[in-house]
Chains A and B, each alone.
Chain A
Amino acid sequence: MSTSTDNWEQVQATAKQVLGDNVVKFIESCRAEPNPESQLIAVLHKVQAEYGYLAEAHLDAVAQLMQIPAAKVAGVASFYHYYRLEPRGRFLINICMGTACYVKGADRVAQKLMDELGIRFGETTTDGVFTLEGTRCIGTCGLAPVMMIDDKVHAEVTPDQVPVILEKYLDQVRRAGSETSGRT
């Protein structure tokens, strides 16, 4: 990757602001390796890990810092399912729609989730609490059907358990809410 742009410092400063130190440091470390442009996917993972999704501003900054055409960065970001281009809710629900889970009734659990939350796959509830996504096989087929909420795996879920599980998370939000309002 070349640093031939004349306003390099300014570009770097802007990008740093958008991406934050962590990501910038990561990009710099990639620049030291052979074939730095091949690290684009890793860089986007890093951004998503940091911000929960890839905003347009992030993509532009990555393109600038890595000296890769913005169109290509956007193309890569939209090609891979793992990247989210919209902000996510406070909790990310991933229901497994893999084969093993499907034959054990994941479709009914998914339907229940959609009914309860009033959203479909890829959407976020209007209160910003839940984002619902479908995923494929998280490698725990033996415990099918499974659903992940952030990092926690819920095994052998039935449609009836869905409201109970959601309620626990809503409770967290309410408690957090009352704590902050109590403090202010």
Chain B
Amino acid sequence: MAASEDNPILDEFTRKEYEFGFTTDIESDRVAPGLNEETIRLISEKKEEPKWMLDWRLAAYKIWTEMEEPDWAHVDYEPLDYQKICYYAAPKSKPVLDSLDDVDPELRKTMDKLGISTEEQKRLSNVAVDFVMDSVSVSTSFKGTLAKKGIIFCSMSEAVRDHAALVQKYLGTVVPVKDNFFSALNSAVFTDGSFCYIPKGVKCPMELSTYFRINESGTGQFERTLLIADKGSYVSYLEGCTAPQRDENQLHAAVVEIVALDEAEVKYSTVQNWYPGDENGVGGVYNFVTKRGVCETRAKISWTQVETGSAITWKYPSCILKGDHSVGEFYSVAVTSGAQQADTGTKMIHLGQHTHSTIISKGISAGRSQNSYRGLVRMASSAEQGRNFSQCDSLLMTDTSGAHTFPYIEISNPSAKVEHEATTSRIGEDQMFYCLQRGMTEEQAIGLIVNGYAKEVLNKLPMEFAVEAQKLLAISLEGSVG
């Protein structure tokens, strides 16, 4: 097919402005840029945190100062200046809300554009939304229904104050402070995020959902999420994000920890659509995320992600299959176009006996982007009869994009079995022509073919998310065959 300079339509679409590139005019209460002990004390003070939290942060900061930024991922970027980042920004209007009607009209507009407006809420009718703007939660709903079941779903800041025992018991147990450079940084400066606790034997009656969004120019986002599913409980958690257009790079270094106690099941779904930068990648979000869950006996954690945004993505949602008969799953679609770079995958650490894991990864690369799958499957010596199945497919939309697969397999138990399949294909010109002949436009044809390719993963998303994700895939790849 024709190169992009020969095709004005293709050109127009690839340079199409970021659909969600808008900003909201809300005054922010922000701390001066820079990172030192003082900054951390200030954050802690602003959030009215107990002393143990401050001490925890300071210890993390000390660890971070002794660590070095990793450079092993297949991504390339200018070194970040951590002293230029602003570590705290809170929207000034911070009302206590009972219903959506009380939300600041500016925020309502933002939510409209994000597709989580009242109409969306109606459509999602059964979803409790904890909307995170910059670093402080501004809107929570369905609290009552959840409270009746004993479910706690609140912002991290609230949890630190009101559910200290749970936070203290689990925070940093799945992703230790010193796990990596970014987890240490997050531990020191995290400003908000979500906390969720599902009591013993309780099936959460609705999808829990959080929308993240960076809004303050140059503000790093350091979300911290802690999700605890007590014995025999079930929860499906949705996280979606999209960010406004910016010219400065914005660091996003979130940490998500999941604890699935005996026989608990957690589904964690993400749609990630941070601003990817302009056609040269300038101004896009750096998304360096650490997500990990630990499964006790017969527990199950499923990670499903649709990654379309960010200039750089560095992310490996992982499962530690500690308990016998526990199950870990990872379903991922990662789309890169323009100058985007993604290095993403998972780690499945099998410790218990009869532990099973499944990895389905679908990479789609367009433009000049680089898309890497990096996955580790480790069968410890204790992982008697451990099983893993991995399938990593790559779809190339252009000659100039790259797809890479880095599977690491470590087996220390002879009864364990690991299967790995990988394919790389070009989007079929014949398929495209077939669709065009049936009256579809080029964008519709791409959307259809790509969604078909990613179907196995999209099917794992909750219904209401799947529809959005499909649209997102099509939008992300408009006019990108070349």
A and B pair up:
no
A residues lining the B interface (CB < 8 Å): none
B residues whose Cβ falls under 8 Å from a Cβ of A? none
